[in-house]
Structure 1
Amino acid sequence: MIRKKPRREESPDYAELARLLPAPGDPHLSLDRHLLLEEHLMNEFRSTAPAPASSRRPARRVLLIGVPVTAAALAGAFAFTALTNSAGGDPAVATPPPVEAPVVRIEPGSTAQLASTVEHIAAAASARETPEPGPGQYIYIKSKVSYVTVSHTDKDDSKAWVQPLHIREVWSSPDGKQGWLDEPGYQPKGGSTLDSDVEPSWGAASYDYLKTLPTDPDALLKRIYKETKGQGNSPDQQAFTTVGDLLNEEIAPAKLNAALYRAAAKIPGVVVVEHAQDAAGREGIALAHVDQRSGDRTEWIFDRGTYTYLGSRAVQVKQADGVKPGTVINWTAVLERAVVDAQKQRPGAQGTRA
């Protein structure tokens, strides 16, 4: 019987072929090329798939580093575009065109006044009366916001693009199961549902969930690190981000609010920035932390006199993938917090302001 050699043995000398062929390139896509690829993929997705469910909060900015165009790279670009498409792919939503991101002077941060500043903020939070939502009621948050966007076809990759400043209103039930989002230009007319059966967690916190958390800063921070392990660009950055997410679109019990600030002060790298401005133009003092991987600094801004939380700002402090230092890539201002008696109801005679 004649045995055939395995197919591998019959093939040419692969090592010799590899030597004769030119070395593979190492393409590095500019930010502009990434954005164009993402936009194309999103257009393909819109034509073949139903609109994704709205998220409770806008996706955080992800910095795209230049990589070879592989299937994995394209999949990542697609995911990023889908997440940042606030209108949910609804062709009926006339999304405003993006604008060039503002550029500000970068003020150095310092730890010199960190302890005293945090104590002022925590003490003010403890003393402030916070309404507790009851059954059937909703937490209402009204903000002015602007987030980085990829929905453009500009050819100049030296510029960063963001949404124009606009109003965003969120209603959420105490258990986090029912909610509504109204963000004209980025959601369908009249808004969209935030109803969810997801179990409450740090990534999908509810008032009822927050009430179960420890109010000892050390225990609270330990739990944050444990339950967000493996997320974000680093454990410290993720811990800071987790606390920050609770400041923008949630109402927390006063003691927990104070504990969150004191816990944040224990995160390595947190500094005080003496002068910062929220999206409504209000000046304040900020607690800040730099994401060493993406090069942007997240700032939580507080009123200098009352130490009330005003809003947040993300400023690029290190050149990264075409985004120059000083560029404001995310900007928020909390205009109103209240407890109201029904979904879509705005504060008035029946609402209780926070």
Structure 2
Amino acid sequence: MIRKKSRLGKPLDLAELARLLPAPADPHLSPDRHLLLEDHLMNEIQSTAPVPAPAASAPPHRPARRVLLIGVPVTAAALAGALVFTALTGSGGSDPAAATPPPVDAPVVRIEPGSTARLASTVERIAAAAADRATPEPGPGQYIYIKSQVSYLSVSHTDTEASKAQVEPLHIREVWNSPDGRHGWLDEPGYKPKGGVTLDSDVTRGLNAPSYDYLKTLPTDPDALLTKIYKETKGQGNSPDQQAFTTVGDLLEEQLAPANLTAALYRAAAKIPGVVVLEHAQDAAGREGIALAHVDQDSGDRTEWVFDPTTYTYLGSRAVQINDTNGIAPGTVTTRTAVLERAVVDAQKQRPGAQGTRT
């Protein structure tokens, strides 16, 4: 066997070294998987990145109800993205001490059929109670405070296992907003940086980013209000009816609205095709009630607004999977919320007490 002499003391030629080494493999994602991973990564960046200072374009809304985690083989091409993904999801925002709790299995409930038989009378009771309820009006320098208990869905989906629906553990979310919507604060331990994030923004207020001052400008005639909602949300969401229902729900969840407008919103919602009444529903705090509900035909889940069966006070909401879509079994509860406190306070980050006026 002939051996080549080594060239001691002389640097190896890189081209020759590359020739002597075995050719590297070419692991790469298919175009479809690459796009899925890229889309998910961008969603994670947008939903977990710290909120910018006052120059932000818009305040953050509640988290999207559904995050699709796509399992891919760990290849050299995916390794860098996987490392970034781990860094983003492994902590609450930028604070490494605020670790995000691991998800838990989503609860499953019996699906109760809805009915329109008592829709008109039920909505009228809810609307009348809202109109009669004393609602404080926040003044300059004050803040609208909303404390909620929430849980949102994340779906893990792998190549080798069936889809597994998991949700965030129930946790507290607190929001402060000035009446004009220009100043605010959000505290959601484990899901936002420790201490919270600013909601300060100069964005123009509208149905998708309402402020108390904006809500006061909306019509209180249910037909005119619904017409405005359909017009200004055209092209958004999965269908005009579902988007209208979702918009009304968003106006009720983490905001304070004048009593007459709240009543008008309920009466407008009753006119949306597909809205039904449920005799039994439950919010995130475990409170039993009746509900107004609407099914999203694309995602296959039903959004339910839960009300106290005696006082007709809005308690919270939940989303229940009705059809087997994206591998999520019917009856799976994909979202749960409960409004624990709604008040006007005198300063940002102040909680209700002697200085706060509760609703």
Q: TM-score, normalised by structure 1?
A: 0.80
Counterparts of 1:154 and 1:145 in 2: how far apart (Å)? 30
Please give the residue correspondences for 1:47-86 in structure 2 after superposition, counting only pairs within 5 Å: 51=50, 53=52, 55-62=59-66
- Give the alignment partner of residue 343 of structure 2, picking from 309, 334, 338: 338
Contact 2:59 2:200 (C-alpha < 8 Å) held by counterparts: no
Counterparts of 1:235 and 1:325 in 2: how far apart (Å)? 24
Q: Which residue of 1 aligns with 2:139?
A: 134
Counterparts of 2:204 and 2:43 in 1: how far apart (Å)? 32
Contact 1:180 1:343 (C-alpha < 8 Å) held by counterparts: yes
- Give the alignment partner of residue 250 of structure 1, picking from 241, 250, 255: 255
Q: Which residue of 2 aligns with 1:190?
A: 195
Q: What per-residue deviation string (whole Å, max 9, x for no partner) do you get for residues 111-132 of structure 1? A: 0000000000000000000000
Percent identical pairs in the alignment equals 74
SS at structure 2 position matched to 1:176: coil
SS at structure 2 position matched to 1:107: coil
Please give the residue correspondences for 1:222-241 in structure 2 after superposition, counting only pairs within 5 Å: 222-241=227-246
Counterparts of 1:123 and 1:235 in 2: how far apart (Å)? 27
SS at structure 2 position matched to 1:190: coil
SS at structure 2 position matched to 1:232: coil
Alpha-carbon offset, residue 161 of structure 1: 1.1
Please give the residue correspondences for 1:243-322 in structure 2 after superposition, counting only pairs within 5 Å: 243-322=248-327
Q: Do the aligned partners of residues 39 and 203 (structure 1) sit closer, same or farther apart at CA in structure 2, a change above 3 Å counting?
A: closer
Alpha-carbon offset, residue 247 of structure 1: 1.2
Q: Do the aligned partners of residues 337 and 44 (structure 1) sit closer, same or farther apart at CA in structure 2, a change above 3 Å counting?
A: closer
Alpha-carbon offset, residue 60 of structure 1: 3.0
Contact 2:155 2:163 (C-alpha < 8 Å) held by counterparts: no
State the one-letter code of the partner of 2:302.
Answer: R
Alpha-carbon offset, residue 57 of structure 1: 2.3
The answer as to 2:188 corresponding to 1:165 is no
Counterparts of 1:41 and 1:308 in 2: how far apart (Å)? 39
Contact 1:118 1:262 (C-alpha < 8 Å) held by counterparts: yes
Contact 1:98 1:151 (C-alpha < 8 Å) held by counterparts: no
- Unaligned runs of 5+ residues in structure 2 are 1-29, 53-57, 71-77
Counterparts of 2:354 and 2:44 in 1: how far apart (Å)? 47
Moved more, 90-99 or 315-324: 90-99
State the one-letter code of the partner of 2:63.
Answer: A
The answer as to 2:41 corresponding to 1:41 is yes
Counterparts of 2:237 and 2:327 in 1: how far apart (Å)? 21
Q: Do the aligned partners of residues 290 and 160 (structure 1) sit closer, same or farther apart at CA in structure 2, a change above 3 Å counting?
A: same
Q: What per-residue deviation string (whole Å, max 9, x for no partner) do you get for residues 61-84 of structure 1? A: 358699xxxxxxx9xxx9xx9xx9
Q: What per-residue deviation string (whole Å, max 9, x for no partner) do you get for residues 167-203 of structure 1? A: 0000000000100001111111111101111100111
Q: Do the aligned partners of residues 115 and 65 (structure 1) sit closer, same or farther apart at CA in structure 2, a change above 3 Å counting?
A: farther
Contact 1:302 1:311 (C-alpha < 8 Å) held by counterparts: yes
Q: What per-residue deviation string (whole Å, max 9, x for no partner) do you get for residues 88-122 of structure 1? A: 46545310001111111000000000000000000
Q: Do the aligned partners of residues 44 and 126 (structure 1) sit closer, same or farther apart at CA in structure 2, a change above 3 Å counting?
A: closer
Q: Which residue of 1 aligns with 2:120?
A: 115
Q: Do the aligned partners of residues 203 and 45 (structure 1) sit closer, same or farther apart at CA in structure 2, a change above 3 Å counting?
A: closer
- Unaligned runs of 5+ residues in structure 1 are 1-25, 67-73
The answer as to 2:111 corresponding to 1:106 is yes
Q: How many residues matched?
A: 311
SS at structure 2 position matched to 1:136: coil
Counterparts of 2:314 and 2:323 in 1: how far apart (Å)? 26
Moved more, 90-99 or 283-292: 90-99
Q: Do the aligned partners of residues 235 and 62 (structure 1) sit closer, same or farther apart at CA in structure 2, a change above 3 Å counting?
A: farther
Q: Which has the larger radius of gyration?
A: 2
Q: Do the aligned partners of residues 40 and 313 (structure 1) sit closer, same or farther apart at CA in structure 2, a change above 3 Å counting?
A: closer
Counterparts of 1:62 and 1:41 in 2: how far apart (Å)? 14
SS at structure 2 position matched to 1:347: coil
Q: Do the aligned partners of residues 248 and 34 (structure 1) sit closer, same or farther apart at CA in structure 2, a change above 3 Å counting?
A: farther
Alpha-carbon offset, residue 58 of structure 1: 1.8
Counterparts of 2:131 and 2:160 in 1: how far apart (Å)? 50
State the one-letter code of the partner of 2:236.
Answer: Q
Q: TM-score, normalised by structure 2?
A: 0.79
Contact 1:142 1:167 (C-alpha < 8 Å) held by counterparts: yes
Counterparts of 1:328 and 1:63 in 2: how far apart (Å)? 14
Counterparts of 2:164 and 2:207 in 1: how far apart (Å)? 33
State the one-letter code of the partner of 2:41.
Answer: L
Counterparts of 1:261 and 1:151 in 2: how far apart (Å)? 35
SS at structure 2 position matched to 1:149: strand
